[in-house]
Amino acid sequence: MHYQGNIFRPPSEANSILLQVTTGCSHNKCSFCAMYKQNRFSIKSEELIMADIDFAARHCRHQKRLFLCDGDSLILPQKRLLPILKAISTKLPWVERVGTYANTKSIALKSLDELRELRSLGLGIAYMGLESGDDETLEKINKGCDRATMIEMGRKIRSAGIKLSITVILGIAGPERAQTHARLSGTALSAIDPEFVGALSLMLTPETPLHQEYLQGEFSLPGPQDMLAELRTMLHHTELSGGYFHANHASNYLPIKARLPEDKKATLKLIDRALKGEIGLKPEYMRGL
C-alpha cells in the first residue's frame, strides 16, 4: 500500500482495510489537534489508489470493512469518489462497509442525492468531530463552523442513509465553561440523533496551539472529577432514538457504553457512583490517545 505520512483511523476501524485517498486535512486548524500538522492536504492520484485496491484484492481477503484515509476523503469531487467506490465493490466484493471521516465542509459540498449515490455504492458510515455544541467553545478551538452548521450537516448525512458516528471532547471548554459545553453538546447530539457518539477526554498534545495556551496559563485543563461531571451533564441532555453513547476510548477515566434510551438511567447512576468515589477511575498512566 502506498501510504504517505501518518495514518489515522477511528478505533472501530482497527481491523479495516486502510485505503489512503487523500493526505492530511483540508481544514487542519483545530487548536487541539496535531494529527496532520506535518502533512499538507492533497488528493492522491487515481493510479496509486487503484494500485492499492488491487493490492488489497490480493492480500486483504479476510477484512470485511474498508476505511478511506486520511482526514478528509469525503471532500473528493463526486467524479473522483464514484470510481473508487465502484472499484472497491468490484474488486473487493467481500467488503461489507466503507467508512470515512467527514466534516461540515465536505458534507456541504455534496448534494443529498450525491450522498445517497455514495451510500448506494457502499459508503456506510461517516465519522464527524462535533467536539462541542457550544459556539463559544467551537470558536475558541478554531473548529471552523458553528453549532447550527454541525446540526444541519449531521442531519443531512443521516438523511442520506449513511450512519453517523460523532465525537465530543470532555474538557475542551476548560473549567469555566465546562457545564455549558456539556449541556449544549448533549442537546446538539439530540438534534442530530446519530447512531454512535464517542466521548473522549482531552489530552493536551505538544506543539498544538491549545497546549501553548496551557503552558502560558491561558487554558486550564479540568481534572478527572470535572470531566466526569461534564460526562454526566452531557449524557443527561442527550436523547437518542436508538444509538450508542460510548466513553470507552483510551483517554477516558471511566469507560461506559450505553444504548439510549434504555441504558441511560443506569449509566447516569454509574457515573454518580464514580463521582462519589465508590468506583475507581482509570489512573493517569493508563490513559492514551
**Residue 222, domain member (yes or no):** yes
- Predicted confidence at residue 194, as pLDDT, reads 98
Bridge partners of 258, per DSSP, are 245
Q: Is residue 3 part of a domain?
A: no
Grid coordinates given for 99: 467508512
Query: So what's the pLDDT on residue 67?
Result: 98
Torsion of the alpha carbons at 111, 115, 118 and 124, rounded to the nearest 10: 170
Provide the pLDDT for residue 289: 63
251 located within any domain: yes
Using a 10 angstrom Cβ sphere, with 0-12 exposed, 13-18 middle and 19 or more buried, the burial of residue 189 is buried
Q: Do 118 and 112 touch, CB atoms closer than 8 A?
A: no
The answer to whether residue 1 is domain-embedded is no
- What is the number of domains present in the chain? 1
Are the C-beta atoms of residues 192 and 123 closer than 8 Å to each other? Answer: no
The contacts of residue 58 (CB under 8 Å, 6+ apart) are none
Mind listing the pLDDT tens digit for each residue in 115-153? Answer: 999 999 999 999 999 999 999 999 999 999 999 999 999
Helical segments of 218-278, H only: 224-236, 264-275
pLDDT of amino acid 285: 67
Does 82 fall in a domain?
yes
In sequence order, the 6+-apart residues with CB closer than 8 A to the CB of 148 are none
Which domain, by its residues, includes 160? 11-283
Instruction: Tell me whether residue 4 is in a domain.
Output: no
Residue ranges of E strands in 171-250: 196-201, 244-246
For residue 266, the domain's CATH number is 3.20.20.70
The DSSP 8-state label assigned to residue 106 in this structure reads: H
- CA–CA separation, 167 vs 186, rounded Å? 12
The rounded distance, in Å, linking the Cα atoms of 149 and 161 is: 19
Please check whether residue 156 lies inside any domain of the structure.
yes
Handedness of CA 177, 182, 188, 191 (dihedral sign): negative
DSSP for 50-89, please give it. Answer: HHHHHHHHHH-TT--EEEEESTTGGGS-HHHHHHHHHHHH
CA dist 221 and 240 (Å) reads 29
Instruction: List, for residues 97-109, the tens digit of each pLDDT value.
Output: 999 999 999 999 9
pLDDT mean for each 10 residues of the chain (289 residues):
88 94 90 85 94 97 96 92 98 98 96 98 97 98 97 98 98 96 98 97 93 96 94 98 90 90 97 92 76
Give the per-residue pLDDT at 39: 78
Q: With contact defined as beta carbons under 8 Å apart, do 138 and 132 qualify? A: yes
DSSP3 helix / strand / coil % (the chain, rounded to 5): 40, 15, 45
Is there a cis peptide before residue 70, judged by omega within 30 degrees of 0? yes
Residue 80, C-alpha cell as written in the block: 473522483
| 160 closest CA partner among 188, 123, 210, 213 | 123
Residue with cell 467527514: 102
In a domain, 279, yes or no: yes
